[in-house]
Amino acid sequence: MRAFDYTRPGAVDAAIATHARANSAYLAGGTTLLDLAKINIMQPDQVVDINGLGLDHIERLKDGRVQVGALVTNTALARHELIETHYPVLSQALLSGASTQLRNKATTAGNVMQRVRCPYFRDGTSPCNKRDPGSGCAAIGGVNRETFAVLGTSDQCIAAHPSDMCVAMAAIGATVSVMGPNGPRDIPFDAFHLLPGTSPAREHALEPDELITHVTLDAPPGGARSGYLKLRDRASYQFALASCAAQLSVEGGVIRAPRIALGGVATKPWRATDAERMLDGKVPSRALFEQAASAAFNGATAYEHNAFKIPLGRHAIIAELGALTGLETMQEVS
In the chain, where are the structural domains located? 5-51, 225-333
Q: Is there a contact between 271 and 168 (Cβ–Cβ < 8 Å)?
A: no
DSSP codes, 147-168: TB-SBS-BTTB-BPP--SHHHH
Range 182-186 contact pairs with CB under 8 angstroms and sequence separation of 24 or more = 182/207, 184/213
225-333 architecture in CATH? Answer: 2-Layer Sandwich (3.30)
Q: How far apart are CA 93 and CA 228, in angstroms?
A: 6
Give the model confidence (pLDDT) of 95-111 as tens digits. 999 899 999 999 999 99
CATH of domain 5-51: 3.30.43.10
pTM (2 d.p.): 0.96
Judge contact between 106 and 164, C-beta under 8 A.
no
For residue range 174-216, what is the model confidence (pLDDT) as tens digits? Answer: 999 999 999 999 999 999 999 999 999 999 999 999 999 999 9
Q: pLDDT by residue (tens digit) across 266-321?
A: 999 999 999 999 999 999 999 999 999 999 999 999 999 999 999 999 999 999 99
Q: Which residues face 256 on adjacent strands?
A: 249
Query: Residue 257 and residue 220: Cα distance in Å, rounded?
Result: 10
